[in-house]
């Protein structure tokens, strides 16, 4: 958010305010004004000076980077008086002048204390006209085509404002809206994918338990648990990527723990059945549920039993890691690239 001082400055100069940033054109430059703890910041757009398909000469510094260097050098040379402009120096936490975003913008950080707003106003009046010739604000940042009239100012993510044709700005806005809707839909699918993975992991835990009842601990069970969790994730529409890998790891761990405990639960069930075998129903003192409720706390209090279970779980995790590695390695897939609005 910006304070009342920058808001007033924005209103006086016809700037827009959005997302905690004031932006628009000042003295022939596209600028964005923001602030944080101990600083106020001006981002001056320099941008690309060629269409995206323009040829690049090997070994030649891109023109927009040359322009950014010229803007930076001009500011350092003409605004070096700290008392007049309060641009940060080496004594402060932030660089006073910095070329950012691959040379598409120059960032100026002002030390923020009482009176800094007057210093920024002096910077606007005295320094911006000197750097304006290097910024070429009439070149559209999206399509790279020049326009005789000033293109529409369009704020991008971050703290840089760039010029665009009206139709280019509209296309960017529509693309952002479409991506937002896709992200919302993707979030819903990710949730369903997690549910599917948990169902698959539950089936994998049963497989793990059956192998355990047979007296074995095999890495193939880890592969089965990861494979079934991955299948459940995919069938429910979950997206590939880091989220899938994280989900599968958690599901395999849960499958191992549950798969290790299920045989113990089965043996307790067998013990109860042996105890009541041949006993008339009227003489049975407790139900199986009551038997479990009474015995389970005693089991958890026995350090030998809990130690053996912990050892089995750790061993199971090692075998599971060996078995499911190939599944996890291919689970990230290709999540799709992020839409880039501005190309340097």
Q: Is the pTM of this model over 0.75?
A: no
Looking at residue 336, the DSSP 8-state letter turns out to be -
CA triplet 313, 315, 316: central angle to 5 degrees? 60
Residue ranges in the chain whose pLDDT is less than 50: 49-61, 334-344
Residue positions counted in the chain = 344
DSSP E strand boundaries for the chain? 16-18, 21-26, 29-36, 39-45, 97-100, 105-111, 152-155, 161-164
What does the pLDDT read at residue 275?
81
What does the pLDDT read at residue 229?
82
What does the pLDDT read at residue 169?
74
Residue 229 CA: distances (Å) to CA of 80, 253, 258: 62, 11, 14
Give the span between the Cα atoms of 324 and 222, in whole angstroms. 5
Give the burial class of 4: count Cβ atoms within 10 A of its Cβ; 0-12 exposed, 13-18 middle, 19 or more buried.
exposed
What does the pLDDT read at residue 150?
54
Strand 39-45 to 97-100 pairing? unpaired
Rounding to the nearest 10 degrees, give the CA dihedral for residues 143, 147, 151, 154: 20
Whether residue 12 contacts residue 25, with contact meaning beta carbons closer than 8 Å, is answered with no
Helical axes 4-12 vs 116-126, angle rounded to 10°: 30
Is 3.60.15.10 the CATH classification of the domain at 4-168? no
Helical axes 288-301 vs 242-276, angle rounded to 10°: 110
What does the pLDDT read at residue 200?
84
Helical axes 219-235 vs 166-213, angle rounded to 10°: 140
Give the span between the Cα atoms of 341 and 179, in whole angstroms. 12
Domain regions of the chain by residue span: 4-168, 182-329
């Amino acid at each position: 958010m910006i304070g009342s001082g920058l808001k007033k400055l924005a209103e006086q100069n016809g700037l827009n305010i959005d997302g905690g940033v004031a932006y628009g054109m000042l003295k022939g430059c596209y600028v964005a004004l923001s602030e944080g703890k101990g600083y106020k910041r001006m981002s001056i757009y320099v941008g690309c000076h060629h269409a995206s398909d323009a040829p690049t000469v090997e070994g030649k510094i891109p023109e927009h980077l040359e322009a950014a260097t010229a803007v930076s050098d001009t500011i350092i040379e003409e605004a070096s008086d700290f008392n007049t402009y309060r641009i940060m120096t080496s004594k402060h936490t932030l660089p006073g002048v910095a070329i950012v975003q691959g040379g598409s913008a120059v960032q100026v950080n002002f030390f923020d204390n009482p009176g800094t707003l007057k210093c920024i106003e002096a910077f606007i009046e005295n320094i911006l006209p000197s750097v304006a010739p290097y910024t070429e604000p009439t070149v559209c940042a999206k399509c790279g085509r020049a326009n005789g009239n000033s293109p529409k100012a369009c704020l991008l993510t971050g703290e840089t404002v760039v010029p665009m044709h009206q139709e280019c700005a509209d296309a960017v806005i529509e693309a952002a809206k479409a991506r937002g809707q896709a992200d919302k839909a993707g979030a819903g699918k990710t949730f369903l994918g997690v549910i599917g993975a948990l169902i698959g992991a539950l089936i994998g835990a049963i497989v793990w338990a059956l192998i355990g009842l047979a007296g074995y601990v095999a890495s193939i069970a880890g592969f089965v648990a990861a494979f079934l969790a991955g299948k459940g994730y995919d069938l429910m529409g979950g997206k590939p990527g880091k989220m899938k890998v994280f989900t599968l790891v958690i599901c395999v761990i849960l499958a191992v723990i549950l798969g290790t405990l299920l045989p113990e639960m089965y043996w307790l069930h067998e013990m109860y059945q042996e105890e009541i075998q041949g006993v008339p129903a009227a003489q049975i003192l407790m139900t199986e549920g009551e038997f479990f409720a009474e015995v389970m706390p005693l089991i958890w209090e026995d350090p030998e039993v809990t130690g053996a279970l912990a050892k089995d779980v750790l061993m199971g995790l090692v075998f599971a890691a060996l078995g499911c590695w190939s599944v996890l390695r291919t689970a990230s897939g290709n999540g799709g690239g992020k839409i880039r609005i501005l190309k340097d």
